[in-house]
Amino acid sequence: MNRAIPWARQAAGLALCAATLAAAANVWGPRRIPWRGDWEHFLEEQARRAGIALIGLTDARDALERKEAIFFDARPAADFAAGHLPGAFSWTAAAAVARAPEFLPLLMSDPSVVVYCAGLDCDEALLLAVFLKNAGVKSLWLMAEGIAGWRRMKFPEARE
């Protein structure tokens, strides 16, 4: 029992030190994480700041049905294979540069592009959208609710 007490003190001291350093880095660092804020709409706000337009689920479904846009799923390949929007391409943000030669020719005719990922807690689609915007895609939309919202609406889904 005597050994447990020094170990617990060391663990508590280490946790306190880590929390203090993290708080200090957040206060004086260049990219602060807000202590309080509207996290429910964080992704949408980041998209607006990046100049990326948002598209709702119904409008995205209509664009898909009318074949008015190219859809990119920014989730990992295994998640894509388990279910995605019909006709969507799998293109993760991590592979954006590596797969650009494969997909950028599709975008030369300046089509509308919709990107999505898992849902409101996934920023991979936003990262891909920023890459596409910087690559010159003009008609670009982020479906922030992602596949989670799509499934909630019981819209059609494809599997690999």
Tell me the residue ranges of DSSP E strands in the chain.
Answer: 53-54, 69-73, 89-90, 112-116, 140-142
Residue 1 has pLDDT above 80, yes or no: no
CB of 119 closer than 8 Å to CB of 148: yes
Are residues 114 and 126 both part of a single domain?
Answer: yes
Together in a domain, 6 and 45: no
- Host domain of residue 13: 1-36
Q: Whose structure tokens read 């599709």?
A: 106
Q: How far apart are CA 38 and CA 60, in angstroms?
A: 25
pLDDT at 4 over 60: no
- Select the more confidently predicted residue: 31 or 13: 13
Do 14 and 81 lie in one domain? The reply is no
Give the model's pLDDT for residue 43. Answer: 87
- Our count of domains for the chain comes to 2
Give the span between the Cα atoms of 123 and 47, in whole angstroms.
9
Do 110 and 84 fall into the same domain?
Answer: yes
Examine the domain organization and report whether 32 and 94 are in the same domain.
no
**Span 110-133, average pLDDT:** 94
* Range name among 17-26, 44-53, 135-144 with the lowest pLDDT average: 17-26
Is 101 domain-assigned?
Answer: yes
Residue 147 has pLDDT above 70, yes or no: yes
Q: 46 exposed, middle or buried (CB, 10 Å; 0-12, 13-18, 19+)?
A: middle
The structure's pTM equals 0.76
Please tell me whether residues 84 and 145 are part of one structural domain.
yes
